[in-house]
Amino acid sequence: MSTRVAAALLLLLATFAPTHSSDDLIDKICKTTPFYEFCEASLRPLSPENATSIAAAMATVVLRNMTDTLGFIQSQIRRSRDPAAERALAECAELYRPVVKFNIPQAIDAMRRGDLGFAVYVIGDAEKQADACQKGFSAAGDDDDGSTAALTARNKLLKDLCDLAIAVLKSLMKGG
């Protein structure tokens, strides 16, 4: 019976040990950011195991949200009946497309190589693209179907995610 207990304990330790150290690292890094709860909520589901995977996980969250927002923009272009809104949406798509297809994937690769400075630059640029989209779309005027509010909320989330990713990366650069 003691052999079974020992085996069960070893299984439990093997199951929970990596998660615990990962949890401690996530907690430590998230405490250095201005968005502790947001950081925790973004990283915990991904279960990154070390500093490099935490950085890549943050960039992956940014990439997923930017990809989703680009899809939303493209669907709004197809539905739009207002030429000014359609132009503004098309400009947003042009801002997002290279970030989704090239920039963020390059930042993730750079993180895996340990080049966090490049990743900070790229994610900062992605944030600027979300801001530019918002400014251009807001200038096009209001809509009746709520797509302006929806895109505004998506752009704000992306700005916050980029700010968070940059804070995580800077924390890691300092040895966070």
**Mind listing the pLDDT tens digit for each residue in 78-89?**
998 888 888 999
Per the model's pLDDT, the better-predicted residue between 152 and 3 turns out to be 152
What pLDDT was estimated at residue 89? 93
Confidence band of 77 (pLDDT split at 50, 70, 90): very high
Q: How much of the chain exceeds pLDDT 70, in percent?
A: 82
pLDDT for 123-154, tens place per residue? Answer: 999 999 999 999 987 776 655 567 788 999 99
Q: Is the dihedral of CA 115, 121, 126, 130 positive or negative?
A: positive
Q: For the chain, which domains are there?
A: 21-173 (1.20.140.40)
What pLDDT was estimated at residue 78? 92
Q: What are the two backbone dihedrals, phi and then psi, of residue 2, each rounded to the nearest 5 degrees?
A: -65, -30
Per the model's pLDDT, the better-predicted residue between 171 and 74 turns out to be 74
- Reduce the DSSP state of residue 168 to 3 states and report it: helix
- How large is the average pLDDT for residues 96-118? 92
pLDDT for 11-53, tens place per residue? Answer: 322 333 333 355 688 888 888 888 888 888 888 887 777 777 8
Q: Please check whether residue 100 is in contact with residue 122, taking contact to mean a CB–CB distance below 8 angstroms.
A: no
What pLDDT was estimated at residue 23? 67
- Between the CA of residue 22 and those of 36, 48, 113, what are the distances in Å? 16, 7, 20
Identity of the amino acid at 26: I
pLDDT at 61 over 50: yes
Residue the block writes with tokens 């779309």 = 137
